[in-house]
Amino acid sequence: MNLASFVQGLASLAWVVTIGLVVLAVVRVSRSKPLKGSRSMIIAMVALSVVLSIVGAGLVFVEPNEQGVVVSPYAFRAPRGYLDFTLTPGLHWVVPGEKVVLYTISRLTYTMVSQAGEGDMVGDDSIRARTNDGQEVFIDASVIYKIDPDKVIQLHIEWQNRYQDEVVRPLARGIIRDMASQYGIEEIVSSQRGELEDSITTQLALKLAENDLLLVDFVLRDIHFSDEYAAAIEQKQIAEQLALQAAYVVQQRFQEAEQARQQAQGLADAVVIAAEGDAEARLIQAEAEAEALRMLALALGENPDLLTYLYITKLSPNVEVMFLPSDAPFIFPLPDSVTP
């Protein structure tokens, strides 16, 4: 309980006591009993009740999140019907008969969504808009705002307590529709969503400031589509997934074919390398044999009897001495030796 309520309670109690004393005095007078000071007590209680009533009627307590506009019927005090200053948080006293209208200066949120029970309005309160390519979208949004503390009196003069329904709501819905109409539906749902939100925030802040309100933040909560467009989007996504899957299969087949080609190429290269190695070995062998024959021919040219010697040693490696008649021919004809 604040001090203003406490004083008003005391004033009410003082009046109850005063009325009780008056009734008691009347009863004593009707019974011809002396008052014995009751008159002075009644006068004192009446004076106290009046003072407490006046003080209590003028005391106003302003909460920490509020400011008060004083509406006065007294021309000497307020020629324009209101005081030029607001009552800040705390305890104040105004002339009895003046009215104090309190306005919250804390942040407020106005929400417009399609889901029932989440917004400030009953039922579907999302913003229906059309994009520049003719598609219909439904936008859920929240506006976080507050009263400009320096313009509370002007707000009271122009809007009083109607500012949420007659300023915030229509301005937000109109600006959202206007901004959405400047983008295509693909841009809104993908690359340009952030830009759309920034554009709405900028325009809404300007318009609210013109009406003594400050925009704290704008939240683009959701964007959804008509059932027809949602079905088309779903079909498109399915087609894109199938196309991606087909491309993946093609890529996989290409990789498998490339792997098989590389394996075949490796085998072919191995065969070629083996053939080249074999051919080179044969060539080296042939060259060696030719060189051996050349060397043998040179040796025979220099020593003709060498061939006869080789013939005899090959004939019988185990025969050391053989006796033949002087007129007997050889078993095998000796090779002809040619004397160069």
Q: What is the pLDDT of residues 18-62, one digit of tens each?
A: 787 777 777 766 766 665 666 777 777 778 777 777 777 778 889
Whether 164 maps to a domain, the answer reads yes
At how many degrees (to 10) do helices 169-180 and 193-209 cross?
A: 140
Q: What is the mean pLDDT of residues 295-314?
A: 70
Question: Are 83 and 190 in the same domain?
Answer: no
Q: What is the mean pLDDT of residues 103-112?
A: 94
Whether the per-residue pLDDT at 237 is higher than 70: the answer is no
Domain tally, the chain: 2
Reported as a pLDDT band with limits 50, 70 and 90, residue 245 is confident
Whether the per-residue pLDDT at 143 is higher than 70: the answer is yes
Last residue of some domain: 81, 103, 125?
A: 103
Q: What is the mean pLDDT of residues 83-99?
A: 89
Question: Are 137 and 92 in the same domain?
Answer: no
Last residue of some domain: 179, 200, 225?
A: 225
Tell me which residue range forms the domain holding 154: 108-225
Question: Are 82 and 191 in the same domain?
Answer: no
Whether 289 maps to a domain, the answer reads no
Q: What is the mean pLDDT of residues 268-286?
A: 80
Reported as a pLDDT band with limits 50, 70 and 90, residue 339 is very low
Token pair, residue 223, equals 């964007």
pLDDT at 164: 93
pLDDT at 322: 55
Which stretch of 38-42, 102-106, 211-215 has the lowest confidence by average pLDDT? 38-42
Distance CA 49, CA 98 (A): 20
pLDDT at 338: 46
pLDDT at 305: 67
Question: Are 192 and 211 in the same domain?
Answer: yes
Q: CB of 32 within 8 A of CB of 39?
A: no
Last residue of some domain: 225, 256, 288?
A: 225
Q: CB of 83 within 8 A of CB of 99?
A: no
Which stretch of 23-27, 162-166, 220-224, 245-249 has the lowest confidence by average pLDDT? 23-27
Query: CA of 228: how far to CAs of 27, 81, 188, 278, 315, in Å?
Result: 87, 58, 17, 74, 108
Which stretch of 63-67, 101-105, 112-116 has the lowest confidence by average pLDDT? 112-116
pLDDT at 52: 74
User: Alpha-carbon torsion 13, 14, 20, 23, what sign?
Assistant: negative
Question: Are 31 and 52 in the same domain?
Answer: yes
Reported as a pLDDT band with limits 50, 70 and 90, residue 158 is very high
Whether the per-residue pLDDT at 130 is higher than 60: the answer is yes
Q: CB of 136 within 8 A of CB of 232?
A: no
Q: What is the mean pLDDT of residues 127-143?
A: 89
Whether 98 maps to a domain, the answer reads yes
